[in-house]
Amino acid sequence: MKLKAIQNTFQTTLSGIYSKEEIDTIFFMLNEAYYGITRLQLALNTNLELENTDAILKALQALKAEKPIQYILGETEFFGLNFKVNQHVLIPRPETEELVAWVLKWYSKLNSASQSLKILDVGTGSGCIAITLAKKIPKASVFALDVSGNALTVAKQNAVLNNVDVTCVEASILKPDTANKLPDFDVIISNPPYVRMQEKELMKPNVLNNEPHLALFVENNNPLLFYNAICKFASNKLKENGALFFEINEYLGEEMKQLLHNYNFKNIELKQDIFKKERMIKGVY
Ligand SMILES: C[S@@+](CC[C@H](N)C(=O)[O-])C[C@H]1O[C@@H](n2cnc3c(N)ncnc32)[C@H](O)[C@@H]1O
């Protein structure tokens, strides 16, 4: 079958779900991943044919059912690095790359930048935050904590894939004895679950029906559950002048500032993402 014809089938099948450009991008990603055919090769030879179309047509059915392309391919890119993903981990988001960039900028200004740091990522999922920090700050010892053993299996694979050492810890940050299993840290960073149940209806079906709810949701009446627990943990486990970085719900910036203030953090800073939404906060202990 001619690839051009398959491309047209992609456009007609997926036009209610994705834009024309997104459909083409997905189509080219699949061709490259499954058949090693690049976008350029296809542009230069519009008569290219596939002998066996099973894989790409199966992917089309999954896309039609609104499965994210990252789960279909089983991988994605974060901060220029490759990460395996499956249904047990959240697909890493661009706003989380901004959070990591903020940590790296803060680190580059430290006087003690030559010293090794102990870093903890709470709710590591695919390990994207922990592994990127381990890669970019090779002297750091990085710990990655998650309550999900399945998520940690993915994080461990990703550490090997990216050739870094990360200590994975299976524990709940909501349990007080978790602190006893860990050393003191210079940096604690987290992108915890923060979507209120009431915000479910604003979410796209591809997220809602595919990504792990354990990674996403909190009860409406306790939206800062994880932030509260992590602030408490951090106030015990951060070294003097240690820093706490969070990705946050864009609607809860002021509440987050107050929370950090209540736990006696100083130099509290809310930060906007590239879309001018308050999506990150930092405090120093
Ligand atoms: C929003 S996801 C973030 C994943 C990843 N850090 C990222 O930024 O893409 C939140 C993560 O918190 C984990 N989590 C949920 N409840 C937890 C708990 N009680 N203790 C530790 N981790 C938890 C989930 O399994 C999930 O991996």
In order along its 285 residues, the chain shows pLDDT tens digits of 889 899 999 999 999 899 999 999 999 999 999 999 999 998 888 888 888 899 999 999 999 999 999 999 999 999 999 999 999 999 999 999 999 999 999 998 886 655 689 999 999 999 999 999 999 999 999 999 999 999 999 999 999 999 999 999 999 999 989 988 899 999 999 999 999 888 888 888 888 889 999 989 998 889 999 999 999 999 999 999 999 999 999 999 999 999 999 999 999 999 999 999 999 999 999
Judge if the beta carbon of residue 91 lies within 6 A of ligand 1.
Answer: no
Judge if the beta carbon of residue 55 lies within 6 A of ligand 1.
Answer: no
Secondary element (H or E) of residue 168: strand 166-170
Span from the CA of 146 to the centroid of ligand 1 (angstroms): 6
CATH fold of the domain at 79-284: Rossmann fold (3.40.50)
Distance of CA 175 to the CA centre of its chain: 23
Phi, psi of 38 (to 5 degrees): -85, 165
- Is 191 assigned a ligand-binding role in the annotation? yes
| pLDDT for position 113 | 54
Atom of ligand 1 nearest to the CA of 78: 9
Judge if the beta carbon of residue 125 lies within 6 A of ligand 1.
Answer: yes
Closest CA to 133 of 113, 116, 119: 119
Other CB atoms within 10 A of residue 270 CB:
15
Atom of ligand 1 nearest to the CA of 130: 6
Tell me which residue has its CA closest to atom 20 in ligand 1: 172
| pLDDT for position 116 | 83
Dihedral through CA 122, CA 124, CA 129, CA 132, nearest 10? 120
Question: Is the CB of residue 50 less than 8 Å from the CB of residue 35?
Answer: yes
Other CB atoms within 10 A of residue 39 CB:
14
| pLDDT for position 200 | 86
Judge if the beta carbon of residue 214 lies within 6 A of ligand 1.
Answer: yes
Domain boundaries, the chain: 3-65, 79-284
Distance of CA 98 to the CA centre of its chain: 11
Best probe residue, ligand 1, of 214, 228, 246 (max atoms within 8 Å of C-beta): 214
Distance CA(197)–CA(88), nearest Å, equals: 19
Span from the CA of 239 to the centroid of ligand 1 (angstroms): 23
Judge if the beta carbon of residue 90 lies within 6 A of ligand 1.
Answer: yes
Distance CA(121)–CA(231), nearest Å, equals: 13
Closest CA to 144 of 164, 170, 162, 163: 170
